[in-house]
């Protein structure tokens, strides 16, 4: 890989055939683990706009997202722990914004745990702003529930 600019070319649309690899990476990245059935359902739904990132034939990241009418939503984004801070998370978000815009989305929304410094920095650095807060939203796998921030970004026309 020559640099971060080339990462977008390593993204492709994800479908149900990716469910196994995406579920494994999801389990490695989140306390709240999704079943294969849940991941398969998301990747094969009519609103699916998910992406995967591949390097040397291996899945290094995914973004599960969907678009309904004019609003796209990021349900999860994760990068293999060994591949973080190399631009993949940013590339997945940029790639998603592009396919969402092409599908008619005018904005992107997402939820993020208020204590997730890496994700907050990723989103804030790409123009997402906090529009709401869900009290004690994340509880699974945590000693104390953590609020979710709802963040949004309007997509350029
Ligand atoms: C959040 C996550 C997807 C970021 O992926 P990544 O590939 O490391 O992100 P990038 O390399 O594209 O980083 C983009 C920016 O995010 C911010 N960032 C990423 N990781 C960070 C960290 N550990 N601490 C602080 N800022 C961080 C930085 O601003 C970074 O820009 P920089 O590298 O130019 O400083 C990754 O940390 C991850 O998979 N976390 C576990 C799953 C998760 O929490 N997902 C988000 C909630 S859905």
At 31 the pLDDT is: 85
Give the position, in ligand 1's atom list, of the atom nearest the Cα of 78.
39
Question: Measuring from each residue's beta carbon to the nearest atom of ligand 1, which residues come in under 6 Å?
Answer: 29, 76-79, 84-90, 112, 116-119, 121-122, 125
Confidence class for position 2, pLDDT limits 50, 70, 90 = very low
What is the CATH architecture assignment of 4-154?
3-Layer(aba) Sandwich (3.40)
Residue nearest to atom 3 of ligand 1 (CA): 78
Lowest mean pLDDT among 32-36, 89-93, 147-151: 32-36
Spell out the long-range contacts of 22-26 with Cβ–Cβ below 8 A and sequence spacing 24 or more: 22/50, 22/52, 22/59, 22/62, 22/64, 25/59, 25/61, 25/62, 25/78, 25/80, 26/62, 26/76, 26/78
pLDDT digits (tens, 9 = 90+) for 53-83: 999 999 999 999 999 999 999 999 999 999 9
CA of 77 to the centre of ligand 1 (A): 10
Q: What is the mean pLDDT of the chain?
A: 94
Contact call for residues 21 and 57 (beta carbons, < 8 A): no
């Amino acid at each position: 890989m020559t640099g971060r600019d080339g990462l977008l070319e390593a993204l492709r649309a994800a479908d149900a055939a990716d469910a196994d690899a995406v579920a494994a990476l999801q389990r490695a990245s989140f306390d709240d683990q999704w079943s294969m059935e849940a991941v398969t359902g998301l990747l094969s739904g009519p609103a699916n706009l998910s992406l995967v990132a591949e390097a040397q034939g291996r899945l290094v990241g995914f973004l599960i997202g969907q678009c309904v009418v004019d609003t796209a939503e990021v349900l999860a984004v994760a990068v293999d722990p060994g591949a973080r801070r190399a631009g993949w998370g940013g590339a997945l978000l940029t790639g998603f914004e592009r396919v969402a815009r092409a599908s008619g989305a005018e904005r992107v929304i997402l939820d993020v745990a208020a204590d997730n410094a890496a994700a907050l920095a990723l989103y804030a650095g790409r123009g997402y702003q906090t529009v709401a807060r869900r009290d004690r939203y994340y509880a699974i796998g945590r000693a104390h529930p953590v609020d979710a921030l709802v963040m949004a970004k309007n997509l350029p026309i």
